[in-house]
């Protein structure tokens, strides 16, 4: 852990990505700085693509404490890191860069432990039976999170055989068997005790009519628009629902802790700021 930040110290951080204008990260991180009394800290957003990333990072001065990375930069950032955490290496995705003691960059992934922390907040410590909807980058993070929570097998519902093989390969890397199922059978996933939906907006809307009664726990990683039809139906039938803001806040808490060295980061204040920012849109 790096030395804890001090009040009055001037440090900078930011979120990079393309597009990045929609990001809630500035609201979350600034709320944390305010709560912690870090009045010399600032957090901005910069539209940056994969080609621009190396030059941007190389031009940062010593006042920069860290960067949050969103799509499409998470894989490209690996090449810029002097060191990388095992979890970031396991999913080949860095969403957090933290300045190390030698002036280089340490790569981390807070999405995976953020997923775990959000589920634990709802009392879910183990996940021996689970299903994942989708096969993108967030789906691989979901597989890693479930593997760390004791899952030996995870059903993954995908739209093509190519995607199915990608998920099977991720499972092999992460030590969990990914049982690929065609998307046409996705309604079967809803009967599992835990369902993590990682699909883009609208992709799982038709499944709302298939929610069983009573359902288990749904973690839908979307946060805008919210609730999704699937999440609304799930809640109406008495199930437990987590949303994208839960993931975003918990992974941001870990980013703040890693960048500032202050533990714990103010979860409640950051969640309130996220809810306020969404309500203002």
Residues labelled as active-site residues: 74
Nearest CA-CA partner of 208 in 223, 224, 182, 186: 186
- Residue 221, CB-side half-sphere exposure with 13 Å CA sphere: 27
Judged on CB neighbours under 10 Å (0-12, 13-18, 19+), 227 is middle
Which tokens hold the place of 14? Answer: 């930011």
Nearest CA-CA partner of 110 in 281, 273, 265: 265
| 47 phi/psi in degrees, rounded to 5 | -70, 115
| Total Cβ atoms within 10 A of residue 134 | 24
Positions of E strands within 11-116: 11-17, 41-47, 64-69, 83-84, 96-99, 105-108
Residues 208 and 233: beta-carbon distance below 8 Å: yes
Dist. CA 214–CA 197, nearest whole Å: 18
The set of residues, in sequence order, having a beta carbon less than 8 Å from that of 143 and lying 6+ positions away, is 132, 154, 156, 167, 170, 171, 174, 176, 178
């Amino acid at each position: 852990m790096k030395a804890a930040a001090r009040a009055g110290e001037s440090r900078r951080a930011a979120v990079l990505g393309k597009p990045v204008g929609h990001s809630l990260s500035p609201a979350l991180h600034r709320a944390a700085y305010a709560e912690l009394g870090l009045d010399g800290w600032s957090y901005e957003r910069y539209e940056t693509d994969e080609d621009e990333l190396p030059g941007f990072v190389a031009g940062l001065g010593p006042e920069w404490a860290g960067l949050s990375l969103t799509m499409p930069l998470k894989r490209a950032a690996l090449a810029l890191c002097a060191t990388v955490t095992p979890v970031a290496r396991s999913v080949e995705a860095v969403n957090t860069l933290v300045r190390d003691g030698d002036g280089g960059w340490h790569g981390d992934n807070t999405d995976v432990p953020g997923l775990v922390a959000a589920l634990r907040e709802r009392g879910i410590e183990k996940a021996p039976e689970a299903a994942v909807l989708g096969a993108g980058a967030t789906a691989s993070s979901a597989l890693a999170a479930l593997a760390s929570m004791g899952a030996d097998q995870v059903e993954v519902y995908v739209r093509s055989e190519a995607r199915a093989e990608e998920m099977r390969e991720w499972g092999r890397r992460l030590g969990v068997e990914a049982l690929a199922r065609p998307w046409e059978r996705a309604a079967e996933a809803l009967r599992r005790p835990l369902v993590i939906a990682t699909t883009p907006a609208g992709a799982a809307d038709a499944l709302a009519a298939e929610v069983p009664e009573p359902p288990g726990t749904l973690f839908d990683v979307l946060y805008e628009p919210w609730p999704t039809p699937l999440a609304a139906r799930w809640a109406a039938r008495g199930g437990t629902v987590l949303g994208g803001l839960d993931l975003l806040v918990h992974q941001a808490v870990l980013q703040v802790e890693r960048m500032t060295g202050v533990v714990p980061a103010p979860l409640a204040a950051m969640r309130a700021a996220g809810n306020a920012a969404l309500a203002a849109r």
